[in-house]
Every structure is written in C-alpha cells, then in structure tokens.
A = this chain, B = another copy of it.
Amino acid sequence: MNQYIQPSASTASSRIYDILRKDLVGGRFAAGEKLAINALKEQYQVGLSPLREALNKLAAYGLLIQENQRGFRVPTLSRDELDDIAQMRLALEVMAFEQAIVRGDSAWEADLLAAEHRLKCADMTLDKDDEWERLHTQFHRTLVAPCGSVWLLRFIEQLHDQFDRYRRLGPKMPVIRQELDQQHHELVELALKRDAETARKLLDDHIRKSYDVALQCFLEHG
C-alpha cells in the first residue's frame, strides 16, 4: 500500500493499549480487581501477545500493578494517594501554566480559544459523555502545552489520568461543573491577557475545586 497514505500502520498492541488506558481511567474496572487475561482476550477480541504487551506498558505507566507470576491488577484507591496526586498536579500544572503564559505564541492563543469553545459546546449535549472527557483532557493539555518541557508535560498527563480515576468514580455534579466550566473560560482570558499572577491563582483554585469533587467521588463511591 502507498506509504504516503499509510505512513505506518498501528499495531494490535498499541490499539489495545489505547482502549485499555481509556477504560482504566474511565473506571470500567474495579479498583483492586485482578485482571483475568483470558477474559480480556475474548472481551476485546485480541490475541494474547499484543494484550500482554499492552498490559506491561500500562503497568510501567502506572495504571496497573504487575506482580511477578500473578498477573496484573488494577491499583487500589486511597485518600492518601488522591491527596498526593492533587498536590503534584498543583505543583506541576501551575509551574507549566506560568511557563506557557510566558512562551505561548498566537497559535497557542487560537488553540486555547478553540479548545474552550469545543468543550463548552460538548457540554450542551450531555449524552455524549466520553466526548466531553476527551475534550476536557484536551483543554487542560492545551493550557500547558507551550511550557517548554517535554518531561513536565509527560508527568502532568500521567497525573491527569491518575486523578481522573478518582474524579470519574461518581456521577456528574451539574452545579460544581458549571463553576469549573466558568473557570475554564476565565483561564483562557487570563492566558490571553498574559496575566501570569492571576492565572496562577485561578488554576490553583481550579485544581483545588476539582480535588474537592474527586474527593467527594472517592468518599461516596470508592
């Protein structure tokens, strides 16, 4: 097949990795649950080798626990860990956002406006929930994207996934969500104004509010 049209096909292994990552973050598996590999094979219609390779990657990424000779299990949840994750998000995302405000160019400004608009629109159609999650992740990714540090972005992404395991335990909370959505808008405004100091404070507050939501989810449904 033409190389230009299909520069490099994906593999079964990378496909199942993406799917499992999404399902683990989305809470499709119970915390602490032991994964039955044969069942997964059937459920996801995938061979053993690609499945195991994906599970190995997810374990290295932190979305699974691998125990020698006894397979893979979903990490348990704890308040201590949620606190840890939230604290780290606070430190790293604020750091990244400050840098992004310094370094981001006009293309970034456009990306921000676009990401916020997409998120707001998706919010209207409440049925497609996975789509909202995707756009929400994308929005926060855009916020810090031009921070200049590949490793910082990598860590932030990882923490987001971990954080969402908690946040997505419970149902949506319309009241608080509206408040958070309002902050999304304000964050973009402050970024465009390059008001680093106020932006820092607002992102700090935004993450704290998100933490409150996630904590409530954990206490009620974890």
A152 in contact with B88 given A8-B68, A69-B8, A69-B11 (CB within 8 Å): yes
The answer for the CA separation of A155 and B84 in the assembled complex, in Å, is 13
Number of residues from A at the complex interface, CB < 8 A: 37
A151: chain B residues at CB < 8 Å are 84-85, 88, 159, 162
> Which residue of chain B has the shortest Cβ distance to A81 in the bound complex?
B150
The stretch among A37-45, A55-63, A120-128, A209-217 that forms the contact with chain B is A55-63
Within 8 Å of chain B (Cβ to Cβ): is A10? Answer: yes
Q: Which residues of A line the B interface, CB within 8 A?
A: 8-11, 13-14, 49, 52-54, 56-62, 67-70, 81, 84-85, 87-88, 91, 95, 148-152, 154-155, 159, 162
In the A-B complex, the 5 residue pairs with the smallest Cβ-Cβ separation, listed nearest first, are A60-B60, A57-B60, A53-B56, A56-B56, A56-B57
